[in-house]
Structure formats: structure tokens, C-alpha cells
Amino acid sequence: MSAPKRLFIKTYGCQMNVYDSERMADVLSPLGYVAADTPDGADLVVLNTCHIREKATEKVYSELGKLKEMRDERLAEGGARMTIAVAGCVAQAEGEEIMRRQPAVDLVVGPQAYHQLPELIARSHRARGERLSADFAPEDKFDALAPAGRKANGVTAFLTVQEGCDKFCTFCVVPYTRGPEWSRDPATIEAEARDLAAQGVREVTLLGQNVNAYAGGLAALVRRLAAIPGLDRIRYTTSHPRDMDEDLIAAHAEVPELMPYLHLPVQSGSDKILKAMNRSHTADSYLKLIEKIRAARPDIAISGDFIVGFPGERDSDFEATLALVREVNHAAAFSFKYSRRPGTPASAMPGQVAEEVKDERLARLNALLDEQARAFNAAQVGRTLPVLFERPGRHPGQLIGRSPYLQAVHATAPDRLIGQIVPVKIENAARMSLGGTLGGGVLAEELQPA
Ligand code: 5AD
Ligand code: SF4
């Protein structure tokens, strides 16, 4: 995303196309494309076409033939590959026909989709195996991340199962920097999980930028890992609503090892903003999804991510976000002020929101989310929760662990309970943690000094 790249746009036809060509240059400039006057040496050539007469269309095909020659010559000389795109009305009218007739064309984009150019270009580069920041294949990368015989550090562990993202939310750099969605082989994951369990790990959190896009289904992987003796708790993060399939929802009802906590970012409650974000869900479809998940697992703790001040967000859009938050009732959440990331479509969108407005919205959203987190924690007071103790607490004689809902719980308990899942009667709650005492008949002997 750093070195300047040369962009040549050839415009045919009307004033509308002239205007559109400028817009295309705008959305491509954050990707590092700088306008060039000729196709010579260009990294990307866009033909912004006109369909008004057959002759105009034929001119496009003859130009494409010349570009192909130019590209082949340059490749033969060891130069960089030129990407060839067709935009405008011919693209709209003939679509894939263009790529059939002239296979040198890398991508076709209609006038309604110019904002998707960065995404289309990234996809086309990937299709040829060109990745931005990968100097080794994902497989090697995972091997480097998770060498065989990895040493467990404590009773909980993270386990990477998936990498990358194909969702192209318009605010996000991940699809450009991390590349396409890629899943680790389940047998390798299982072997690593067994090894961790043998070292005393009781809880694994399966990691991935889009973990629920895991190839072969995340639910199947969860069920497979749940069968490993000693592995009593499974979590996963982070998920996209689009990949929350029926099987995964069913797993929340059926697999006791799968913990009742779900990080399922919604980002906004305004359909207009969600569309501009390229999120592929609406506020309503998200709420319906949450309803289904809660039908499967009524006590599930829902967490999420929010962005305030996305370009074009008005007061009414922000109010829609607050309304959605009230409806969902979150156990926890993360909220961010929109930040312009070079190379992403949103960074070139009009209607960037003033910093003071973002600050004010963030404060209001956080106040509401805080209130919900406190209420969720307070609702545990009086309940007895199974807590996996992880490590000594801040005060002598105290241990810290986690509830099924990922709340930190501290209690007075002997060190030998580290790595055990024990019932704790919750007695007090704060925003970030719970406090309780060991309880339950089975543990009576643990209450005696060791
Ligand atoms: N500005 C603000 N927040 C962002 N996130 C991702 N990109 C941006 C950005 N450009 C947030 C999203 C995502 C979380 C990991 O980070 O909410 O879910
Ligand atoms: Fe992918 Fe998440 Fe970024 Fe969207 S926000 S592009 S789903 S990593």
C-alpha cells in the first residue's frame, strides 16, 4: 500500500463518464494509485467505456487488444504486470461477455459499483496468487505460529484456526493486509488441542479474523474438539453475522463445552450505514439472528463491536445504533471512533464526520453499553457459577478465574484449585468483574485450610 502505482484511465463518451473517471481516481488514490497520462508503464489501466453506439463498443475491444500486447511485451521484458479493468456502460451492458471475448481483462465494474474498485482489484490480485504482505504461504505461517509441541502457558490457551477475511467491510484494512480467508486443517488443530489438553489446558479459544467462516463448518470443529478428554471449555472469536450458520447455532444448544458467550460484531444499527459499510446484514436481520441464537441458548452473553462516526452517519443513524443496542442488551462490547484507513473505500467517502461529533457519540454509546455490562454482571449476584480458576489474584489467598460468560471472577481459594472448574457463589459485581465465595457441597473439603 506504500509505493506509488501508476493509474491510467481512458475515458470514452459523455460528461458523466468524465465525472466517473475522476471518482474512480479518488477511490483508488488511498491505495497508492497516482494518475498517469499514458498506459506506458501503468500498473492499472481502466477503460471507462461508452455503449451508445456499436462503433464505440468495438473501439473498446480494439483498445483492449492493444493493451494486451503492451502487457505481454512488458512481462517478456521482466516488467510488472499491468492490471486491465473495464468500467462504464459497456461493462454494465456486457459484463462477463467482455472477459470471455478478451481474456486479458482482469475485472469489469459497472457504474453503480465504483466504490468496490479497491475490493475488486484486491480480489483480482489474489486470484493470481499475488498477496500484499505475504512472503510465505499461509501453511508455513501457521507452522511458524504453532510449532509442534507448543508449550502451554497456563490452563487456558488460544488456538488459531483461521486467518484472513473476504468480507471487505469498507472501513477495514484486514482483507488487504491479511489476505483471503484460509482455514487450518482440522486434524492439525485437533492434534494441537490434544497436546495442549495433555499439558493441563482446560479451555481453548479458537481464533480467526472470521472464525465462523472456518472451512468445513466451525460447528463440526467444535464438536470434534469437545470430545477431547480434559478439554472442558471451548470459545471462539471473532465472528461475522453472515457466517453464523444453523449448525453453529445448534452447537450452542447441544455442546456443553461450548461456552455461552458470543462476540458477534454488528458495527451499526442504521441500515444506510450498514450498507455503506458493506456489512451484508441489516439491523433487523441481525436482531432476528440474535433471537435465533437466544432460542438455542437463552443465557448466552452477547458481545459486539461498534463504529461511531462512519462517513455519512447522521444523528438519526446514530440513534438507530442506540436503539439496536437497547434491543440486543449486550453483556460486553467494544466501541470505536471511525478512523480513516488508507486504501479502504470508506476513507474516500464523502460526509466524513467531525471529531467532536465522534467523541460525543462514542461517550453516549459507551454510557449505554456500560450500563448494560453492569446490569449483566449484577444479574449474576446470588447465582452459583462454575468458574475455571486461572491464576492467583491481586490479594493474597485469592484466585482469579472466568465464568462461562467470560466474566473475571475472584474468590478466596487455595492455589491447588488453579486449573479446576469449581462452583462459586457470586456475591458482588462491578463493571469488569465479579466476586464470590467457594460454595456447593462437592467442594466442602476445599473450604478447609489445605
Ligand atoms: N475505524 C474504526 N474501527 C474499526 N474497526 C475496524 N476498522 C476500523 C476503522 N477503520 C473495528 C471494527 C472491528 C474491530 C476489530 O475494529 O469494529 O470489528
Ligand atoms: Fe473482515 Fe472483520 Fe474487517 Fe469486516 S471488520 S473486513 S469482517 S476483518
Residue 291: phi and psi, rounded to 5, are -60, -45
Closest-lying ligand 2 atom to the alpha carbon of residue 173: 3
pLDDT at 363: 98
Helices (H) and strands (E) in the chain, counts: 14, 18
pLDDT at 445: 41
pLDDT tens digits, one per residue of 400-447:
999 999 999 999 999 999 999 999 999 999 878 999 999 754 444 443
Q: Is the CB of 268 under 6 A from ligand 2?
A: no
Collapsing DSSP to helix, strand or coil, 441 comes out as helix
Secondary structure element (H or E) that encloses residue 373, with its range: helix 355-378
Residues in the chain: 450
pLDDT tens digits, one per residue of 309-365:
999 999 999 999 999 999 999 999 999 999 998 778 898 899 999 999 999 999 999
Torsion sign over Cα 414, 419, 424, 430: positive
Closest-lying ligand 1 atom to the alpha carbon of residue 172: 7
Lowest mean pLDDT across 51-55, 137-141, 174-178: 137-141
Q: Is the CB of 174 under 6 A from ligand 2?
A: yes
Going from the Cα of 15 to the center of ligand 2, the distance in angstroms, rounded, reads: 36
Task: Quote the pTM value.
Answer: 0.79
Asked if residues 251 and 225 have their Cβ atoms less than 8 Å apart, the reply is no
Lowest mean pLDDT across 136-145, 184-193, 430-439: 136-145
Closest-lying ligand 1 atom to the alpha carbon of residue 335: 17
Going from the Cα of 205 to the center of ligand 1, the distance in angstroms, rounded, reads: 21
User: Average of pLDDT values for 51-78?
Assistant: 89
pLDDT at 449 over 50: no
Strands 182-183 and 162-163 come out as: antiparallel
pLDDT at 119 over 90: no
Q: Which protein residue has the closest C-alpha to ligand 2 atom 4?
A: 169
Going from the Cα of 372 to the center of ligand 2, the distance in angstroms, rounded, reads: 25
Going from the Cα of 171 to the center of ligand 1, the distance in angstroms, rounded, reads: 7
User: Helices (DSSP H) in 271-388: which residue ranges?
Assistant: 271-276, 283-296, 315-328, 355-378
| Residue-range domains of the chain with CATH | 5-136 (3.40.50.12160), 140-378 (3.80.30.20), 384-446 (2.40.50.140)
Q: Is the CB of 172 under 6 A from ligand 1?
A: yes
